[in-house]
Structure 1
Amino acid sequence: MAVSKTQQREHARLLYVGEMITLKEVAERVKVTEKTVGKWCKEDNWDDLRKSLLNTRESQLVHFYNQLEAINMDIANRPEILVNGKPIQRPPKNIPTNAEADTISKITSNIQRLEREIGLGEIIQTGKRMILFIQKINLDDAKMFTGYFDEYITSNLKNG
């Protein structure tokens, strides 16, 4: 089955954003003209994606870990509340309230999901690092592996 224009466009975007290669190199690998890739790049703001793609997942993880730490610190440092000189009924110092426990559970779930999730962008990043490693050993093998890897990405785009 032939690759659709949409699939070619997606593959081109992933190559351009993930591998930081030129539009000409992307066009050669996706087998479309450089003009077409340039048009897609401009229409879809690939340059902006290039700047933010790798940061997004990592930034979210850092944000969630910071939230989790802040909640845990609030719980650990919770002062005893006194009314008329007597402590009010509430969870012990290091035990979260139901609302806090629910929030902790949701944040933890988000962290686990992000840590498990491997998207096509990350597969491409891994492939890129592998190709760079192979280049240091044998340039011809790296070129061959690049071809195979491009076919693998195209296959993933076709078959989901």
Structure 2
Amino acid sequence: MAKKKEQEVAKKLYVELYKTQKEIAEDLGVTEKTVGDWVKKFNWKQERDARLNNSTNRAENIKKVIAGLTDSALDVLEQIKVAEFNGDKEEALRLKKESTRIAQEVGMFQKSLEKMDKEFKISLSTYLEVMEDIFQALQNYDKQAYLATLDFQKTHLQSIAQKLG
């Protein structure tokens, strides 16, 4: 039983908290090979990769890049003002080119973000189908839990229908 609990903890640490196999082994007092065997046997790497590469994480990463570029653009604009004030036309021109390059990059990342939003948006019918499968599985697994969630199911599906419909 302890092995099963260790596996559950190891999976959470690996898949959700992105710890290394070595860190997990040290935390749980097992060998790194044991953790590696679990990762391989239970396909944790694929699950972790899927979580890391989901549309939400990718969109957040793109937003961070855009924010960084925006900060850089503001810095360059300040530098342009200084160069113009000092009469350094060459430096002002170089900085204006840099500002244009940054603006083009921001536009490119914005387009990527919009494209991702369109590609990864799930249809209401697909969402409802998946949720019905989950609710049916819950009913088959634990009828009491299913019955206890009926109000949640109704509220949740109405909320999603408003969002996606």
Q: TM-score by structure 1 length?
A: 0.42
TM-score by length of 2: 0.41
The answer to which structure, 1 or 2, has the higher relative contact order (CA under 8 A, 6+ apart) is 1
Q: Which protein is richer in helix relative to its size?
A: 2
